[in-house]
Amino acid sequence: MTLREFLSNRLKCIALQVICVGLATLFLFTTGTQPGVLVILLIVFLLVFLTVNMLDFFQQRARLLELKSILDGLDRKYLFTECVPQPKGLFEQRLFDLVRLAGRDMTGAVSDAQASQREYREYVERWVHEIKTPLTAARLICRELDGGTRRKLIAELSQIEAHVERALFYARAENPEQDCLFRQIELEEIVVRAIENHRSLLIQNCIQVETEGLDCIVYTDEKWAVFILGQLLQNAARYRGEAPVITISAHALGKQVRLTVSDNGIGIPAHELPRVFDRGFTGSSGRSRGGSTGMGLYLCRKLSGFLGLGLEIASKEGKQTTVTLTFPAKENLTKL
């Protein structure tokens, strides 16, 4: 709080005091009080006025700084009213009582919301695991069909499994630390798993995958990294061009490892590129080709932030799209 703010807040009170002094001075002057006495009285009033207001200003500013330091030191700001020292004065006591009641009500509402969110997440996780059983059974039934029908059904089942997997990771993305294990792993192993998980999709769309320089060691959670790479492969397949080719390459960048996924698809318009990581954004390409949920890249950005991965995208409309993942150095993981 500045002095100007303090005076502005007390402007009415100060104006009333000045009016009262002016009236008192006028009354004393009309009753015959000597001008010298009036001047002395005005000087005394001015000194008292300045002293009282300055003391009040410094006390209020010190109190606000004290409360702000307490708030800044709390990880959970909503516990502020429970940690403040004894309020000074009746008004502050009543005010803090009201704020404390409101804070407790908010804490209860937040706890209820967190409990509901946790129950919903647990339900989604159970549903995902339960739905895998009929999907597996459907895959087994497909083996009895002829080649063309079997391939089409397997491709559709793969799409269903991709959507189910995305729902599972979306549910877990709110608390990824509960299902995350950082370890040293070969980058090639992550890439091979992602390609294998989407083999049917890649084969159905006649997509050629080329790899280069994957003999690198990275430090990450394998499952989450495979999911992120899988989303990139799905996007490359959905927005493929003629004679589609996906190139996955890697190279060391100091202690970091940079993984690049590039395709020769239809690309992304320049004006849409800044929004591709927004939740639910499908863009003109997604609307024209259908099947886009706008959640894939959103989840990639969210999970990459937790894993400490750098995520960048570049594209030329009608030519290509390149996504770059930068895996952090091992010593940087201690900061996550």
Distance between CA atoms of 250 and 98, rounded to whole angstroms?
59
**306: its two tokens:** 């937790």
Instruction: List beta partners, residue 246.
Output: 209, 263
- Burial label for 156, CB within 10 Å (0-12, 13-18, 19+), is middle
Return the pLDDT at 197. Answer: 86
Q: Which amino acid is at 317?
A: E
Return the pLDDT at 2. Answer: 76
Q: Tens-of-pLDDT digits for all 336 residues of the chain?
A: 677 777 777 788 888 888 888 888 888 778 877 778 788 888 888 888 888 888 888 887 887 887 788 778 777 776 777 777 777 777 777 888 887 788 778 778 878 887 887 787 778 778 877 888 888 888 888 888 777 787 778 778 887 888 888 888 887 777 766 677 888 899 999 999 999 988 888 888 889 999 998 988 999 989 899 999 999 998 888 888 888 999 999 998 888 899 999 999 888 888 888 898 888 888 777 777 666 777 888 888 988 888 889 999 999 988 889 999 999 877 666 544
CB 219 within 8 A of CB 244: no
Distance between CA atoms of 15 and 11, rounded to whole angstroms?
6
Distance between CA atoms of 280 and 5, rounded to whole angstroms?
44
CB 79 within 8 A of CB 51: no
Around 153, how many Cα atoms within 13 Å sit in the side-chain half-sphere? 16
Instruction: List beta partners, residue 262.
Output: 247, 322
Q: Which amino acid is at 142?
A: C
Q: Where are the domains of the chain?
A: 3-105, 175-335
Write out the H or E segment, with its range, that includes residue 332: none
**313: its two tokens:** 């995208």
Spell out the SS3 assignment of 223-275: HHHHHHHHHHHHHHHHCCCCCCEEEEEEEEECCEEEEEEEECCCCCCCCCHHH
The CATH class that applies to domain 175-335 reads alpha beta
